[in-house]
Structure 1
Amino acid sequence: MAPLDVPASTRSSAEQFAAEERLSTPEGKKDFWRATFSCWLGTAMEYADFALYGLAAGIIFGDVFFPNATPVIALLSSFATYSVGFVARPIGALFFGWLGDRKGRKIVMIATITLMGLSTTLIGLIPSYASIGVWAPTCLVILRFMQGLGAGAELSGGTVMLGEYAPAKRRGLVSSVIALGSNSGTLLASLVWLLVLQMDKESLLAWGWRIPFLSSVLIAAVALFIRRYMRETPVFERQKALLEAQRQQVLSTNSVPAKEQDTRSFWQKSRAFWTMVGLRIGENGPSYLAQGFIIGYVAKVLMVDKSVPTLAVFIASVLGFLIIPLAGYLSDRFGRRIVYRCFCLLLMLYAFPAFTLLDTREPVIIIPTIVIGMGLASLGIFGVQAAWGVELFGVTHRYTKMAVAKELGSILSGGTAPLVAAAMLSYTGHWWPIAVYFSVMAGIGFITTFFAPETRGRDLNLPEDAI
């Protein structure tokens, strides 16, 4: 098979060319670019919100909301509230995924951007612990939960929308725009924090830390405006038309459609779901350790100047605009499986040398170490995962299954990784258990690739899952 050929088994009828058919018209091309920009902007906001929170948890929140705790306990408490958002994400994924599979992708994309924008802005308005005591971290937890509800469906919604808009031969590259959105959000968050951290400590703790959260309302407003005029995906429109035609046929013949009996085992029915969970663990756990825990570890435990890890995040985010589309292109060229497997292997080899280098406390060593970790875990591997996740599932329940699988994987890895790592550090006083934890999660992703199918170029209008 030529590198960009689509397997004949996935191109058996004209039904699979919904995206290509839409793109053949001038209006369809406008719809494509509008959807692409909207998905990029929405994901940028989601990750800006989560990166803002991650950076704040590692650098600021311990002083603002847990002022009486020791540095390690304050870090642990901050990441405990950080994990609350990941508990909420599968709830949001289940509800909004169900809504998106039945009513369309567009309505969900409007709802999630509104919910995320509101909750993030309100975080910037929470009084400090010194002002209202225990109510301060309580409000933080509540708003973090709301933020997670919206984020649980935003990422998967954007991924599904881009995948269903993209032509089959370029689905990896187009879908990587989602990862570009996440990278843009991380870049924006780190840039804002670099500016905010130039303030004196008193002003920073009093009001400066609120600026990044309050400014997110601007992104939300622009994204909401664009999504109001966004068209539904060609794949979903074709599926909706097919179901309507079937319904009209039933009405015209006064017959009751026969229901097919699914005799597959539970594992066969859910294999694609659990495969996505495994792939997500291999990406999300190392990602949030690289851009979440390590930032706090360097700033609060190693006592390196706070601008050093923040600058590293900024540099990695700039390089991400090259790394992400390259990863998407490579997955179109060579397949999703082999590229994903290589990223997981590199992450397994990264962990122990990384912590050894961080312990030097030398900025010229710390910065490239963080940049490499983010380049592998938060950028490259994520650029491959976007298209692969969409192709694993059939059109009928794609949004729900992919969203819930991704968020379950996040809970089992990324959402709890900084908290687990902080607890390990508090208990052992050393980084080696964290390095083992990092490698194990990357190893889960690596092993999963041997059980996952190659889906490059798959027909997204097929009703059944890829496996």
Structure 2
Amino acid sequence: MTIINNPESTGSATTEMLAAEERLVTKEGRKDFWRATFSCWLGTTMEYADFALYGLAAGIIFGDVFFPEATPIVALISSFATYSVGFVARPIGALLFGWLGDRKGRKVVMVTTITMMGLSTTLIGAIPSYASIGLWAPGCLAFLRFMQGLGAGAELSGGAVMLGEYAPAEKRGLVSSIIALGSNSGTLLAALVWLIVLQMDKETLLAWGWRIPFLSSIVIAAVALFIRRNMRETPVFERQKKVLEEQRRLALEQGRKHVAEVDTRSFWKRTKAFWIMVGLRIGENGPSYLAQGFIIGYVAKVLMIDKSVPTMAVFIASVLGFLIIPLAGYLSDRFGRRITYRWFCLLLVLYAFPAFMLLDTREPVLVIGTIIVGMGLASLGIFGVQAAWGVELFGVTNRYSKMAFAKELGSILSGGTAPLLASVMLSYAGHWWPIATYFVFMAGIGLVTTFFAPETRGRDLNLPDDAI
């Protein structure tokens, strides 16, 4: 028997062994857990390598390759405009694959999304330049970004749901933070590859060198796909599947319509948890993509600092992330999701204006340190807490679809458009202060949201209803 008595948790007390604990009792169940954990880590590594590769390329390379006739700021805006296309596709992918994941299982979606993302990223490396095919080049780039975003819309939430539903309740924050470790691994991999590629001379880099990181991503995708095809469904969904099968049997016996119709209508019955997740996501995703997206381009293209400086900063931050992320997950298990998340948001609010002041010094050491702190707070620490909290906010009936759609809606309202809007602000204002204000605004949304969100630490994930 497992009894969890956490007075701050919503619906956490149960007299029945939780699904994850029941599976982990057996040797085979523990093997399933580690297989799923590695698979989710690798898949998220793939997703964030894709997006970090594109973010770095958009700030450093794509302006010259796909928009060679534009001014530096216009080229930066154009590069980040195609960057935003992927975020437009993500909510669509979240709804489509989230619905499928709630009804057919987590595994089938995880196999599909890794395939889509792997192919899209690889093909970006095969697009001819603007000099070869003109406007078709940025057109192809935008299309592949859309397909990449379609798969990514369900990949991140799918990994979080899978890890959360596999993890023992008392270590759910720590285990779920592996999703953030995957994102960090992807960013680290992308930064490492770019550090190597940037050693080429400019002519070689623009001719074919920039393609190497994208083409090589097929290797990660192939390994992740192989593991996922041999992965078992989560213990929480297996238990839920038995409940649904029993409900369907009773419904058929009583001559009623398929019970799945009730599940579909219930998506919008309770929306508080949904909007809480949107607010939390804005507070993390907007500052995150400004810290590791826009600031990279700002330092390289506007401040004209050597391109290796921001790339080195991303690399160092990613290395430190292997300490920051599990620590954040542990703190959320120890002290609660809400208070840990709140502190990260507060620190981000305090970070914005001093960060741009330090960047303007153009001193490499200060620039590197500023980027590292920004990524450490937004892209690493806060993200390490978000995975478990998001999974616990929702009931099992529509967890995947609600969580995925809420996260991606939050992303498109913040991270997906943040680098583009920041570039436009810089173009019109000619100064960084509107961008710093924008940064504070988004982090502030996350901070305020924590005062309306419930503490969910240790919640039973087989409960059908949302936490609020």
**TM-score, normalised on structure 2?**
0.96
Partners of 1:428 and 1:259 in 2: how far apart?
53
Residues 1:74 and 1:258: Cα distance change in structure 2 (over 3 Å): closer
1:141 — aligned with what?
A: 142
AA matched with 1:31: D
AA matched with 1:296: G
Partners of 1:212 and 1:258 in 2: how far apart?
47
- Segment of structure 1 superposing worse, 280-289 or 235-244: 235-244
Partners of 2:270 and 2:174 in 1: how far apart?
29
1:10 — aligned with what?
A: 11
Shift of residue 246, structure 1, vs aligned partner:
2.7
Q: Which runs of 5+ in 1 are unaligned?
A: none
Shift of residue 10, structure 1, vs aligned partner:
2.7
Shift of residue 269, structure 1, vs aligned partner:
1.7
2:458 — aligned with what?
A: 457
Residues 1:255 and 1:51: Cα distance change in structure 2 (over 3 Å): closer
AA matched with 1:191: L
1:395 — aligned with what?
A: 396
Residues 1:22 and 1:298: Cα distance change in structure 2 (over 3 Å): same
Q: What are the residue-to-residue correspondences of 1:21-36 with 2, within 5 Å? A: 21-36=22-37
Question: Is 1:124 the counterpart of 2:125 in the alignment?
Answer: yes
AA matched with 2:82: T
CA contact (8 A) 2:49 2:186 kept: yes
1:222 — aligned with what?
A: 223
What is the number of equivalent residue pairs in this alignment? 463
Q: What are the residue-to-residue correspondences of 1:312-461 with 2, within 5 Å? A: 312-461=313-462
CA contact (8 A) 1:16 1:459 kept: no
Shift of residue 242, structure 1, vs aligned partner:
1.2
> 1:215-234, CA deviations, whole angstroms, 9 ceiling, x for partnerless residues?
00000000000000000000
AA matched with 1:100: G
CA contact (8 A) 1:6 1:169 kept: no
Partners of 1:9 and 1:93 in 2: how far apart?
26
Q: What are the residue-to-residue correspondences of 1:271-350 with 2, within 5 Å? A: 271-350=272-351
Shift of residue 6, structure 1, vs aligned partner:
3.1
AA matched with 2:458: G
Shift of residue 266, structure 1, vs aligned partner:
11
Aligned-residue RMSD, C-alpha: 2.1
Shift of residue 243, structure 1, vs aligned partner:
1.5
1:236 — aligned with what?
A: 237
> 1:151-210, CA deviations, whole angstroms, 9 ceiling, x for partnerless residues?
000000000000000111000000000000000000000000000000000000000000
> 1:44-90, CA deviations, whole angstroms, 9 ceiling, x for partnerless residues?
00000000000000000000000000100000100000000000000
Structure 1 SS opposite 2:200: coil
CA contact (8 A) 2:10 2:455 kept: no
Residues 1:267 and 1:352: Cα distance change in structure 2 (over 3 Å): farther
CA contact (8 A) 2:157 2:400 kept: yes
Partners of 1:105 and 1:261 in 2: how far apart?
20
Structure 1 SS opposite 2:271: helix
Partners of 1:149 and 1:419 in 2: how far apart?
20
CA contact (8 A) 1:89 1:149 kept: yes
Residues 1:387 and 1:281: Cα distance change in structure 2 (over 3 Å): same
AA matched with 1:300: K
Q: What are the residue-to-residue correspondences of 1:39-50 with 2, within 5 Å? A: 39-50=40-51
Partners of 1:280 and 1:221 in 2: how far apart?
30
Structure 1 SS opposite 2:233: coil
1:466 — aligned with what?
A: 467
Question: Is 1:201 the counterpart of 2:202 in the alignment?
Answer: yes
CA contact (8 A) 1:345 1:443 kept: yes
1:102 — aligned with what?
A: 103
1:85 — aligned with what?
A: 86
Partners of 1:212 and 1:87 in 2: how far apart?
24
Partners of 1:150 and 1:251 in 2: how far apart?
35
Q: Which runs of 5+ in 2 are unaligned?
A: none
Partners of 2:136 and 2:114 in 1: how far apart?
26
CA contact (8 A) 1:315 1:371 kept: yes
Question: Is 1:168 the counterpart of 2:169 in the alignment?
Answer: yes
Provide the identity percentage: 82
2:116 — aligned with what?
A: 115
Shift of residue 258, structure 1, vs aligned partner:
10
Partners of 1:268 and 1:52 in 2: how far apart?
39
Partners of 2:262 and 2:108 in 1: how far apart?
32
Partners of 2:277 and 2:116 in 1: how far apart?
26
Partners of 2:267 and 2:46 in 1: how far apart?
37
**TM-score, normalised on structure 1?**
0.96
